[in-house]
């Protein structure tokens, strides 16, 4: 039993090139120098810092590493043996002493994959919201600069408008800083704040 499990692992590793598997699951390795690179799916990676070698990967950002089975297991949140079965199925590698997955096992794998896809979607929606909020605040910032220029010498009547423009612009710049430099929590906070702020201003 133990031997056949080891055989399965070796067989999968020998049959499926890592870079091919990574491509198959929707990531886009780019060739740079001797190796392929991708943006690491295991941390918030801005530039490709995960190197794909012949049979292993290593992320210079977060230290994630392993072989094709480790990659698929971690990427889809599967047990190593489940990753072996998944790879075997996706790449048509017949396993020794092949047995079909039970309904229960298949269901479990499907659930985890669905969960992973939902998480990816949530994260992508979040990134989109951050981009949109950032663009919106930049536009607004520009607008307030114009307003302030137009009222360069505020008379009494315009004074409150001028003060408000200054105040709003401080707030906008604070938000822009957080969107650029902040962590995920900060960005979430700004996206929500701006949403509320827009509502309160009826913008």
60 contacts Zn ion (rule: CB under 5 A): no
CB of 55 to Zn ion, least distance (A): 18
Question: Residue 109 corresponds to which tokens in the numbers above?
Answer: 């794998």
The residue among 43 and 195 lying less far from Zn ion, judged by its C-beta, is 43
Q: Which two tokens stand for residue 16?
A: 């499926």
Residue 66 found at the interface with Zn ion (CB under 5 A): no
Q: Smallest gap, in angstroms, from Cβ of residue 173 to Zn ion?
A: 32
Each residue 19-58 as x (binds Zn ion by CB under 5 A) or -, in order, gives ---------------------x-xx---------------
Q: What minimum distance in Å lies between the beta carbon of 98 and Zn ion?
A: 34
Binding site for Zn ion (CB under 5 A): 40, 42-43, 59, 61-62, 64
């Amino acid at each position: 039993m133990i031997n056949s499990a080891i055989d399965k692992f070796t067989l999968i590793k020998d049959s499926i090139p890592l870079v091919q598997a990574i491509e198959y699951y929707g990531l886009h390795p780019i060739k740079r120098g001797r190796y392929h690179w991708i943006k690491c799916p295991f941390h918030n990676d801005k530039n490709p810092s995960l190197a794909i070698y012949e049979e292993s990967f290593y992320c210079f950002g977060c230290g994630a590493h392993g072989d094709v089975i480790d990659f698929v297991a971690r990427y889809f949140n599967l047990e190593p043996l489940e990753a072996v079965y998944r790879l075997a199925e996706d790449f048509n590698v017949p396993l020794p002493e092949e047995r079909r997955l039970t309904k229960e096992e298949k269901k479990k794998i499907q659930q985890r994959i669905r969960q992973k896809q939902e998480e990816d979607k949530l994260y992508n929606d979040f990134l989109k919201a951050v981009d949109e909020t950032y663009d919106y605040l930049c536009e607004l910032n520009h607008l307030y600069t114009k307003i302030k220029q137009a009222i360069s010498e505020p008379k009494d009547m315009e004074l409150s408008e001028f003060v408000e423009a200054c105040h709003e612009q401080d707030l906008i710049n604070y938000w822009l800083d957080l969107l650029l430099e902040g962590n995920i929590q900060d960005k979430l906070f700004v996206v929500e704040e701006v949403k509320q702020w827009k509502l309160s201003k009826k913008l």
